[in-house]
Structure 1
């Protein structure tokens, strides 16, 4: 048993670091959701901010758009003209995806400075991609309402998870180069 633990210690460390980080960050996020919702930034600050920024992108792309609270639902409603095109809920703010990304990064960390920089940059890329994803999906639903299900359920989840996957692949390539460089010196 000791030999198996020694042989797979790197894998075991990865799994426990990933799961521990994920559970810890998810717990912190849930505490945030339970304690920091407000009438000013409904339903919570982060979701509200994502809704505002997504609406701003839709407007910047030449569409007349506006937001309305979805109260009593914990949602913001995005309209193009007077047509309702999207409900922006807590799950749309990319926090859970960023938590997943950060957990992987900490479990598969390299040099501290490089890991922290890539983690921060990756989180920003995911956040910006998410804003663009919501805005473009809203425009797509406005222009092609018969494709709403495909856009919401397949195309745009593929975009956000595809970006996370590409970031992970890029990190593994960087990490592998670090390991090879450190072992040769």
Structure 2
């Protein structure tokens, strides 16, 4: 058993770092979310920020859009050209995706500065792309309502997770401790 652990030590170290980072930051995020009362239809600040930035993005590109707090649930309505098209809930703010992204990068960590900067850059990129994703999804739902399931459940998750995957590949190949060993 000891020989197996020593033989696969890099894998077990990666797994331990990934799980610890993921659990710690997921618990921090859940603690943050627990400050908001879902029964009173309170929306967390990050989701509210994403909703308003989605509106600002659409307005910047000359689209007519407004955001309204939902009357019956903790979310924001996206009103696009006077039509209620979508709602932005906590799951739309990309924080869970960012935690997953950062956990993997941390698990393959190199120097603290490089790891921290890559997580910061990657998280910001994912956050901005997520806002663009919601804005484009809104336009897509307006123009192609018959493709709602396809757009929401396949195309846009594929885009966001595809970007995360590409960032992971760049991290492992160019910046991680693994890349340093193999150069």
TM-score (norm 2): 0.93
Aligned residues between the structures: 179
The 2-side partners of 1:117 and 1:180 are apart by 22
Query: Which residue in the other structure is 1:30 paired with?
Result: 30
The 1-side partners of 2:81 and 2:37 are apart by 28
Report the Cα offset of residue 37 of structure 1. 6.0
Query: Which residue in the other structure is 1:126 paired with?
Result: 126
Report the Cα offset of residue 71 of structure 1. 3.1
Report the Cα offset of residue 35 of structure 1. 1.1
Query: Which residue in the other structure is 1:178 paired with?
Result: 180
Deviations 1:18-56 (A, max 9, x none): 111111111110000011569xxx501000000000111
TM-score (norm 1): 0.92
C-alpha contact 2:48 2:76 (8 A) present in aligned 1: yes
Query: Which residue in the other structure is 1:97 paired with?
Result: 97
Q: CA RMSD in A?
A: 1.6
Query: Which residue in the other structure is 1:114 paired with?
Result: 114
SS at structure 2 position matched to 1:109: coil
Structure 1 residue 65 and structure 2 residue 65: aligned? yes
Report the Cα offset of residue 179 of structure 1. 2.3
| Structure 1 spans left out of the alignment, 5+ residues | none
C-alpha contact 2:18 2:106 (8 A) present in aligned 1: yes
C-alpha contact 2:47 2:93 (8 A) present in aligned 1: yes
The 2-side partners of 1:157 and 1:113 are apart by 30
